[in-house]
């Protein structure tokens, strides 16, 4: 039989998880009692559904702490996604951050490329995603040329660019209000 904690300890764990996974929205998430309650409920559900033989994605046995984190993280991300749809949270899209190449003052190209390179290096992109974005945006390659460079289809190149830009948007959301 599992030992369950008190509601107060679940609420404290929920607050810690929000601080860990809430990104720049931590303050808003912590102020919302429903949010904290939902995360605490998710941690309770994780405790209830946890079994000693649960396996993670890598095939290794998943501990109760990891199991709790996964539940809490999914709930937090779901809340942020819903708040974004409702307009409670504003996220600046990458298209507003990458300048239009046709209207750039030549003296600022190096500075802007350094900024974009910084975003690419700090967005947890895979090497393929980073490379596809660089080829497509910096070197003006087409999707077909980008795909050929990596020996895959233009659709795969498009998906790598799309998913990479999504990761950059998520990373940038931590820097913009």
Q: How many percent of the chain have pLDDT more than 70?
A: 71
pLDDT tens per residue across span 58-87: 666 667 777 788 888 889 888 888 888 887
Supply the range of the domain harboring residue 102: 94-172
Look at 15-19, 73-77, 91-95, 96-100 and tell me which has the smallest mean pLDDT: 96-100
Q: Is residue 157 part of a domain?
A: yes
Confidence of residue 38 (pLDDT cuts 50, 70, 90): very high
What pLDDT is attached to residue 62?
Answer: 65
Which of 39, 49, 50 lies closest to 7, judged by CA?
A: 39
In a domain, 133, yes or no: yes
Nearest by Cα to 17 from 2, 3, 1, 38: 38
Q: Looking at the domain assignment, is residue 1 inside a domain?
A: no
Identify the residue with better confidence: 95 or 146: 146
Report d(CA 128, CA 147) in Å as an integer. 10
Residue 110, in any domain of the structure: yes
Its pTM stands at 0.49
Select the highest-mean-pLDDT range: 39-43, 48-52, 145-149: 39-43
Instruction: Please give the pLDDT value at position 135.
Output: 81
Residue 105's pLDDT band (cuts 50, 70, 90): low
Residues 98 and 149 in one domain: yes
Domain with 162 in it: what CATH number? 1.10.10.10
Domain boundary among 86, 117, 138: 86
User: Could you tell me if residue 76 is inside a domain?
Assistant: yes
Show which of 68, 86, 104 is a domain's final residue. Answer: 86
- Residue carrying structure tokens 């307009």: 87
How many helices, marked H, and strands, marked E, lie in the chain?
9, 0
Q: Is the pLDDT of residue 91 over 70?
A: no
Same domain flag for 52 and 113: no
pLDDT exceeds cutoff 60 at 93: no
177 in a domain, yes or no? no
Whether 17 and 34 map to the same domain: the answer is yes
69 and 19 share one domain: yes
Give the phi and the psi of residue 139 in degrees, each rounded to 5: -105, 10
Number of domains composing the chain: 2
33 within a domain of the structure (yes/no):
yes
In a domain, 2, yes or no: no
- 12 and 81 in a single domain? The answer is yes
Strand, coil or helix: 165:
helix
Select from 65, 86, 107 the last residue of a domain: 86
């Amino acid at each position: 039989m599992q030992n369950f904690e008190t509601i107060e300890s679940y609420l404290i764990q929920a607050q810690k998880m929000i601080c860990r996974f809430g990104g720049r929205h931590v303050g808003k998430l912590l102020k919302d009692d429903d949010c904290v309650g939902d995360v605490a409920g998710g941690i309770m559900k994780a405790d209830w559904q946890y079994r000693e033989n649960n396996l993670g994605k890598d095939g290794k046995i998943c501990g109760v702490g990891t199991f709790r984190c996964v539940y809490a993280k999914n709930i937090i991300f779901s809340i942020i996604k819903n708040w974004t749809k409702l307009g409670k949270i504003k996220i600046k899209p990458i298209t507003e951050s990458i300048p239009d190449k046709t209207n750039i003052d030549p003296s600022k190209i190096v500075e802007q490329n350094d900024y974009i390179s910084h975003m690419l290096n700090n967005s947890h992109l895979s090497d393929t995603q980073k490379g596809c974005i660089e080829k497509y945006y910096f070197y003006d390659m087409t999707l077909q040329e980008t795909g050929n460079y990596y020996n895959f289809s233009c659709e795969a190149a498009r998906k790598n660019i799309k998913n990479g830009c999504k990761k950059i948007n998520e990373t940038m959301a931590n820097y913009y209000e």
